[in-house]
């Protein structure tokens, strides 16, 4: 059995859950097979240069902190990934703005050689920036769909747990990572072997790529009221072009009056105010995690007037969009 050389590239603020599940899946496969069929290494995305004051060797370990500040030690930089058969790009926080020409170049070379590339959590931004998603679709963490669409309007986003297009794989993060890894293992070693691997994680079944992402929050809201859950799910899908509340009610098969009653009962807020808050929360995320202009942020969250956007934003957060941007820039 040919050994698969695997490289995990950790970006600052990567999602620890996705990374850990991917590592565990490969480790379980090695254990079940009785030999190291997946030889993996962990790398950081910095490339040493001759001006570095420290050791210039690509094998010089460097730690990378996850989104929850857990440091992971790596074996070296991108130079270690040159001969990889399979690369996992691990991202999450601030991935939309991450810029690394050396990484993009590496991924393009691997793609040309028909190597497999998997984007975990928000790393679909990296594949898009590297030009690898032209003419393709992808999956990513649901909360970043609006930002992704604003930056890459020509790349369709699938609501699947993960998407496979040629040798590129993108996932929604979280436990969908494990489903994607089991798919990879099944491609290499067959469905029965992948099923045996899934048993080590106490899974009842392996979910397919076509299965739709299901938000636990939406399920909880639907348990309170089917009308409430359906309304919020529709609101989140239409941030940039928000519905009138009357239209929203019609879309889910109820009346505006009933919708008002449901929101007041369970959320103590009107549906209009709830919708506005969702849009402003998305706007704040885009302000903090991208370099999009405030005008574009306003447009992406459904505001035609910059002044109206700023007023609504300040009413909610007691700070203007420009103040939030300035604070975030100083922290970074």
Instruction: Report the predicted TM-score, pTM, of the whole model to 2 decimal places.
Output: 0.72
Rounded mean pLDDT of 132-151? 90
Structure confidence by residue, pLDDT tens digits, 291-320: 889 999 999 999 999 999 999 999 999 999
Instruction: Give the separation between CA 148 and CA 138, rounded to whole angstroms.
Output: 10
Report d(CA 77, CA 44) in Å as an integer: 5
Which of 199, 228, 250 delimits the end of a domain? 199
Residue 212 has pLDDT above 70, yes or no: no
Residues 166 and 282 in one domain: no
Tell which of 139, 168, 199 closes a domain.
199
Quick one: pLDDT at residue 160? 84
- 35: CATH: 3.40.50.880
Question: 100-114, 143-157, 218-232, 251-265 — which is least confidently predicted?
Answer: 218-232
Residues with Cβ within 8 Å of residue 213, at least 6 apart in sequence? 139, 142, 159, 160, 161, 172, 176
pLDDT of residue 308: 96
- If asked whether residues 236 and 97 sit together in one domain, one would say no
Q: What is the extent of the structural domain holding 126?
A: 4-199
pLDDT score of 53:
42
Q: In this model, does residue 54 exceed pLDDT 90? A: no
pLDDT band, residue 145 (cuts 50/70/90): confident
Distance (Å, rounded) from C-alpha 71 to C-alpha 279? Answer: 33
Q: Does 19 map to a domain?
A: yes
- pLDDT of the residue at 300: 93
> What's the CA gap between 166 and 37, in Å, rounded?
22
Cross-strand pairs, 165 = 168
CB 18 within 8 A of CB 90: yes
Q: Is it the case that residue 246 has pLDDT exceeding 80?
A: yes
Residues 49 and 136 in one domain: yes
First to last CA, the chain: 46
Q: 264 and 130 in one domain? A: no
What confidence score (pLDDT) does residue 48 get? 52
Does residue 223 share a domain with residue 303?
yes
Report in angstroms the alpha-carbon separations of 19 from 66, 75, 95, 123, 174.
10, 15, 15, 12, 9
How far is it, in rounded angstroms, from Cα 38 to Cα 33? 10
Choose one of 199, 232, 248: the last residue of a domain: 199
- Using pLDDT thresholds of 50, 70 and 90, give the confidence band for residue 161: confident
**Cβ(141)–Cβ(215) below 8 Å:** no
Indicate if 223 and 108 belong to the same structural domain: no
Residue 153 lies in a domain: yes
Q: Quick one: 101 and 246 in the same domain?
A: no
Q: Are residue 175 and residue 30 in the same domain, yes or no?
A: yes
Does position 56 have pLDDT exceeding 90, yes or no? no
**Average pLDDT estimate for 185-190:** 92
Let me know whether 193 and 54 are in one domain: yes
Q: From CA 108, how far away is CA 126, in angstroms rounded?
A: 11
Same domain, 306 and 184: no
At 191 the pLDDT is 87
Q: What is the pLDDT of residue 2?
A: 79
Residue 128 belongs to a domain: yes
Shared domain for 310 and 236, answered yes or no, is yes
- Give the containing element (helix H, strand E) for 162: strand 162-165
How far is 197 from 182, CA to CA, in rounded Å?
8
Domain assignment of residue 108, yes or no: yes
Same domain, 102 and 153: yes
How many structural domains compose the chain? 2
pLDDT higher than threshold 80 for residue 211: no
């Amino acid at each position: 059995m040919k050994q698969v050389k695997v490289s995990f590239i950790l970006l600052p603020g990567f999602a620890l859950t996705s990374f850990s599940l991917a590592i565990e899946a490969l480790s379980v496969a090695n254990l079940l097979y009785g030999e190291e069929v997946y030889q993996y290494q962990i790398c950081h995305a910095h490339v040493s240069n001759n001006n570095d004051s420290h050791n210039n060797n690509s094998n010089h370990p460097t730690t990378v902190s996850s989104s929850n500040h857990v440091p992971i030690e790596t074996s070296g930089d991108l130079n270690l990934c040159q001969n990889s058969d399979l690369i996992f790009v691990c991202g999450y926080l601030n991935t939309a703005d991450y810029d690394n020409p050396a990484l993009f170049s590496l991924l393009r070379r691997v793609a040309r050689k028909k190597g497999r590339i998997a984007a975990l959590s928000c790393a679909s931004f990296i594949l898009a920036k590297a030009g690898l998603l032209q003419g393709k679709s992808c999956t990513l963490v649901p909360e970043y769909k609006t930002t992704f669409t604003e930056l890459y309007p020509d790349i369709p986003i699938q609501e699947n747990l993960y998407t496979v297009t040629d040798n590129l794989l993108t996932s929604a993060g979280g436990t969908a990572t494990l489903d994607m890894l089991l798919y990879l293992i099944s491609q290499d070693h067959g469905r029965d072997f992948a099923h045996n691997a899934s048993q080590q994680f106490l899974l009842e079944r392996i979910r397919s790529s076509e299965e739709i992402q299901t938000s636990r929050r939406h399920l909880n809201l639907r348990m309170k009221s089917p009308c409430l859950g359906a309304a919020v799910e529709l609101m989140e899908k239409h941030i940039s072009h928000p519905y009138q509340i009357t239209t929203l009610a019609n879309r889910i098969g109820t009346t505006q009056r009933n919708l008002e009653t449901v929101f007041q009962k369970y959320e103590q807020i009107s549906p209009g105010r709830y919708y506005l808050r969702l849009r402003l929360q998305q706007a704040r995320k885009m302000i903090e995690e991208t370099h999009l202009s405030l005008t574009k942020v306003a447009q992406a969250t459904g505001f035609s007037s910059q002044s109206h956007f700023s007023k609504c934003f300040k009413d909610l957060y007691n700070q203007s969009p420009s103040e939030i941007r300035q604070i975030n820039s100083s922290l970074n």
